[in-house]
Amino acid sequence: MNSELYLAALVVQEAQMGLMVLDSNENIVLFNEWLVKAACLPEKDAIGKNLLQLFPELQGTRLQSAVETSLQKGFPSLLSQSLNRTPFPIYAGAEEYKTGIRMEQLIHVIPLKGGGITPQRHCIIQIANVSEAVRREKILIEQAKELRRNLITDGLTGIYSRRYWEEQTLIEFRKARRDCSPVAMMMLDVDLFKHFNDTYGHPEGDLCLQRVARAAANELKRPRDILARYGGEEFVALLPETNLEGAAVVSERIVKAIQNLQIPHLKSNVAPYVTLSIGVACGFPVGGDTQETIISEADQALYAAKHLGRNRVVLRKDEFFFTTGNIKITSGIL
């Protein structure tokens, strides 16, 4: 063997990737040292064997099709790692071999034609270990998902965050403007929550907020309805395509759901358990109502609910407030 051929053979055997050469009948004529170790297969057991005889699970796969295309038509192929993750039963090490965890693989199939030396067509199957790259990619994807979760959810209660609520509000207002549909908003406040925290302590206060948030969120039945933590013990809800009367029905359900939790609140002068006050407003973005206008009106209605004794829903309509239930306020702003 001359020095050039020896050098080429040395490069093939020392390459830090799998190199396998097939002849036109798909028989293996080269099986480098990297593959010997990764497949736990001696070279003598591979050379001369048909690809499908040695690796029968490749029958009908994208890899077999790529090999046929390379040998018959002379076209190269790159197998997408995301769609062909582990075609060959090869492993990164002894521990992976024992546990059956295959190496993540990136595979090129490259046609060869040797001219006068070997006129028949051959092809190279080149296999790279991308397990570490895949692992890093998974970590980055999980980190991105976690960041997204942190952006859209409130860390304490698990419901939507104020930031996400504001983003979705802009989206829903654009849609409402196109569709000429109403948008309702609700401001919700846990009654006398400072007294609750002072009496039972902050851990119990956090648990209270979590239970209130879950109970309130469960009363929003439509996928586009959003309940978010606005700050402290205050929450905000967005109800697209909902008029004032519809929002009142949802709000009353929420108030009753919080009452039904029966969370003790000995320092409340409203009830012996935790209660909720809600202010509701509705507007038409197509008519010029803005997010700021409607939420401000809902906040004013919430103030009216507190002024009237809490544990109730108050609706804002034009310059007047209306309570749901038996009391009706028909005079000007409180």
Q: Retrieve residue 236's tokens.
A: 């905000």
Q: How far apart are CA 252 and CA 239, in angstroms?
A: 14
Tell me, letter by letter, the H, E, C secondary structure of the chain.
CCHHHHHHHHHHHHCCCEEEEECCCCEEEEECHHHHHHHCCCHHHHCCCEHHHHCHHHCCCHHHHHHHHHHHHCCCEEECCCCCCCCCCCCCCHHHHHHCCCCCEEEEEEEEECCCCCCCEEEEEEEEECHHHHHHHHHHHHHHHHHHHHHHECCCCCCECHHHHHHHHHHHHHHHHHHCCCEEEEEEEECCHHHHHHHHCHHHHHHHHHHHHHHHHHCCCCCCCEEEEEECCEEEEEEECCCHHHHHHHHHHHHHHHHHHCCECCCCCCCCECCEEEEEEEECHHHCCCHHHHHHHHHHHHHHHHHCCCCCEEEEECCEEEECCCCCCCCCCC
233 is catalytic: yes
Q: How far is CA 80 from CA 55, 85, 112, 164, 180, in A?
A: 20, 8, 21, 35, 47
Would you give the end-to-end CA distance of the chain in angstroms? 101
Catalytic hit among 132, 233, 245, 319 = 233
Q: Do the beta carbons of residue 305 and residue 321 sit within 8 Å?
A: no
Active site residues: 233
